[in-house]
Structure 1
Amino acid sequence: MMSLLRRSLLAALVLPALAQAAANVDAPAPAFTAATADGRTVSLADFKGRTVVLEWTNHDCPYVRKHYGSGNMQGLQKAAASQGVVWLQVISSAPGQQGHVDGATALRLNTERGAAPTATLLDPGGELGRLYGAQTTPHLFVVKGDGVLAYKGGIDSIASSDKADIAKAEPYVSEALAAVAEGRKVEKASTRPYGCSVKYGS
């Protein structure tokens, strides 16, 4: 009885804390520490003073394949890196779910696709994904050097898996990164993400 009561009290304390840690534009981005595909550990705090992009991904998702198969995502990653931006891929697919991979496979996939993230974060338990409220793959977040979230949402404005739509879409992430680089407020700071649902475990 006491154990059940204690668990209920802990849940009552933890759940509001998680709610307060949600990723909200113009508020501090939730702090995190995560394991990388190459066996390191990184924290958001490691990149203080630099713009950080978080990209939720699932290599089997057709919406992700649209942006990698066309070279669009790799182009964004490389353009960002040339500006000193840190680009962190995040894989939150749970074991047994679509898109779940081990570190070696994640690195191999990036090599095969010519992807250029700064690091790939493995989040099989979904803690980081839930912390940020990541809903889809892709789902992108831009954090300014001062730790404040500047953008969250879709990669662009056309919610399709058709590569031909990329050229016609408004490039939300590119626009957000340009605004942050120029010290401007992101005009469309919160947009609707689209893609496959993040394959969290139960």
Structure 2
Amino acid sequence: MIRKLIAGLAVIAIAAAAIQTTGARRAEAQGMDLQPGTSGYDFTLMDTQGNSHDLSDYTADGKVVVLEWFNPGCPFVKKYYEGSNPSMKAAKAFAEENGVVWLAVNSGAPGKQGYGADTNNQYAAEHGINNPILLDESGEVGRMFGAQNTPQLFIISEKGILLFNGGVDEAKMDGEVPQHNYVINALEQHMAGKDVDPSITAHIGCSVKYGEHKPVEGEMKPETAQGAR
């Protein structure tokens, strides 16, 4: 009886370990554990105007890059472009003034909210969005970065290192006056040669409208960069 009990507990423990391992691998594949200080990112995506953008081309030119996960149908995105919250527009203006590249990324799958070049172009024209909007229909780039919400922002240094992952501010609702602009703060600190703090902030928004994920062998995984900004 005791041997059977021990054997049964062992089977349960092995099964639990297998579930944890599977979950960890799934999280890793989707970038859920992504932390500032990691590197090794690259992608090539077309924007809504048919132009190609390669992340490594920008960093090779010494550019810092802001990636804004975007969905024109999301109310949390709309509060920055249609509402009274000034944070996103202020961050974009600061980036432009300081030679920082700003790219929006829409990882919505076909048929999902906010999908399609025409939808994004119309919204951009109506609300004065001048930066490129990249289309990531497969969701591969979004999953590589672990993008969970729109909006959610990532800042990549000129060395290809992730500096920041989070929301532009702490405001939860439209009409709430933000006290911080985390993107401007991160860019200012980096340009001054300082470590970014905070480098991770809460990102409140709609879920990214991914399609079904079919992992492929050789998916990019971030590397940890030591002692670099």
Which bin holds the TM-score, normalised by the shorter protein? 0.7 to 0.9
Question: Quick check: 2:87–2:168 contact (8 Å CA) kept in 1?
Answer: no
Deviation at 1:168, TM superposition (A): 3.1
Partner Cα separation in structure 1 for residue 180 and residue 146 of structure 2:
23
Deviation at 1:38, TM superposition (A): 1.1
Partner Cα separation in structure 1 for residue 210 and residue 150 of structure 2:
12
Taking structure 2 as the reference length, what is the TM-score of the superposition? 0.74
Of 81, 84, 107 in structure 1, the residue corresponding to residue 96 of structure 2 is 81
Ranges in structure 2 where 5+ consecutive residues have no aligned partner: 1-23, 213-229
User: Could you say which residue in structure 2 is the equivalent of 1:4?
Assistant: none
Q: Report percent identity of matched pairs.
A: 38
Look up the SS of the partner of 1:168 in the other structure.
coil
Taking structure 1 as the reference length, what is the TM-score of the superposition? 0.83
CA RMSD of aligned residues (A): 2.1
Of 122, 125, 137 in structure 2, the residue corresponding to residue 124 of structure 1 is 137
Matched, 1:134 2:147: yes
Task: Report matched runs for 1:28-177 at 5 Å.
Answer: 28-48=39-59, 49-69=62-82, 70=84, 71-102=86-117, 104-117=118-131, 119-158=132-171, 160-162=172-174, 164-165=175-176, 167-177=177-187
Look up the SS of the partner of 1:105 in the other structure.
helix
Any idea what the Cα deviations from partners look like across 1:126-172, whole Å, max 9, x if unmatched?
A: 111111000000000011111111000111113x231x22x333211
One-letter amino acid of the structure 1 residue matched with residue 100 of structure 2: V
Ranges in structure 1 where 5+ consecutive residues have no aligned partner: 1-14
Number of aligned residues: 183
User: Could you say which residue in structure 1 is the equivalent of 2:222?
Assistant: none
Partner Cα separation in structure 2 for residue 123 and residue 20 of structure 1:
16
One-letter amino acid of the structure 2 residue matched with residue 68 of structure 1: Y
Of 175, 197, 202 in structure 2, the residue corresponding to residue 187 of structure 1 is 197
Look up the SS of the partner of 1:141 in the other structure.
strand
Deviation at 1:182, TM superposition (A): 1.3
